[in-house]
A = this chain, B = another copy of it.
Amino acid sequence: MRQSQLFTKTRREAPKDEISQNAQLLIRGGYIHKEMAGVYDLLPLGVKVIEKIRGIIREEMNVLGGQEVSLSVLQEPELWKKTDRWDDDKVDVWFKSEFKSGGAVGLAPTNEEPLAALLRNHVSSYRDLPKYIYQIQTKFRNELRAKSGIMRGREFLMKDMYSFTKTEEELDDFYAAVGVAYEKVFSRVGIGEQTYLTFASGGIFSKYSHEFQTVSTAGEDTIYIDAEKRIAINAEVLNDETLNMLGVNREDLAQAEAIEVANIFKLGTRYAEAVGLTYMTEDGKELPAIMGCYGIGLTRLMGTIVEVLCDDKGIIWPEAVAPFSIHLVEVSDDTEKKKFAADLYRDLVNAGIEVLYDDRELRAGEKFADSDLLGIPYRVIIGKTTSSDSIELVRRKDGDKRTVSREALLAGTYSV
């Protein structure tokens, strides 16, 4: 894309009421726009990053055997009263409204009830289970405070998956498989090293749940890391029992602030029982399905990547989620070099490489500052001394500079 065509502009300053680093950088780069506390619009560059993240998560969920749905946000009270989750005293993040035709309606903060209820039409026998169902959907939560930028939104994009199994063994197997898939997701989006499988408090059904926590001073949680074992314990369950179970010594643990980027949770039969989702076993017994739930916030993940990888000049996108692979920056007044840049842009695009082409009439210093802020992995600079054999390539994450040939760029072999 030609940067002169992009409707967003970078900004020197984020709005004064924005205190979180991730949102400040994303707003300054033109990735997002702040509508109000906890509510952000995605602008074209932000849409591109989220689509990359969505693609990675979708792939990994499909590998797990997940089937994608898209459930409605609007919810009627009846179903949620069955699980005692309609009352604001029980679930305190509902947005509620009224139908013009009469009756209360709420915005789903999560989807256990409606999904279990709809499965009653599709599950009757043991042959119909297990099933794994996910969606990537906008969620609404009426948070009292929302000061963490796009990491705790009142409106946010989330992948929520639900498992429906016959036995606890089946649940355990899938639960473990999701853990592995999540590790792959975080590794693919570039924060694998900083992210720990973390033991956290469970519910009625199981003593523990598991979170994936990414170490960052912007985090709202405190965790204790055993670096060697690559596991962590949430402060809420840091006690002798947990340490014994994990075979971890208190003195090996390092305290850190961390961002919860995902959680996985065993739910048992609570929801299935309440809404009447049962199946017939092979020997003719009627049993409720056992459920598990597995969440990753996509917008939160985008914010986390920014928090964890940025430097004082701006964002640093890992290649897999960057809006573009190459930032082609033309910094010459020479007509011939301008043509060289335009031709290279055309040929890169035709070679299937995603390029943002800074063809704007600006000083080189301004262009480089913008390029640092935007954080595209590779910057290709077309200046006075550029030739087909010698093109300057700068890697954003460490400033590494090399000269490459036009041929190497087009062949995509620059990324080393």
Chain A residues proximal to chain B, CB less than 8 Å: 5-9, 11, 30, 33, 35-37, 39-44, 46-47, 50, 65, 67-76, 92-93, 95-97, 99-101, 105, 107, 114, 118-119, 121-123, 128, 131, 133, 138, 140, 142-145, 154-155
Contact = CB atoms under 8 A, between A and B. Distances in A.
A142 B100 CA distance: 6
A69 B47 contact: yes
A201 to B, nearest CB: 24
Closest 6 pairs between A and B when the two form their complex, measured CB to CB? A42-B70, A95-B97, A7-B131, A44-B67, A33-B118, A41-B71
Central interface residue in A6, A7, A93, by most chain B CB within 10 Å: A7
A138 B73 contact: yes
A70 B138 CA distance: 11
A68 B97 contact: no
Given A7-B131, A68-B44, A35 B74 contact: yes
A69 B67 CA distance: 26
A122 B30 contact: yes
6 contacts: A9-B122, A44-B67, A44-B68, A46-B70, A47-B70, A100-B144
A142 B99 contact: yes
Given A7-B131, A47-B70, 18 more contacts: A7-B122, A11-B121, A35-B72, A36-B74, A40-B72, A41-B70, A41-B114, A42-B71, A43-B69, A46-B69, A74-B140, A92-B100, A93-B100, A97-B97, A97-B107, A97-B142, A100-B143, A100-B144
A74 B95 CA distance: 10
A155 B97 contact: no
A93 B35 CA distance: 21
B72 A39 contact: yes
Contacts of A96: 97
Nearest to A71: B41
Contacts of A142: 97, 99-100
Contacts of A42: 69-71
Contacts of A65: 5
Given A68-B44, A92-B100, A122-B9, A73 B105 contact: no
B73 A121 contact: no
A72 B41 contact: yes
A97 B93 CA distance: 12
Nearest to A67: B44
Contact of A155 (B40, B67, B74): B74
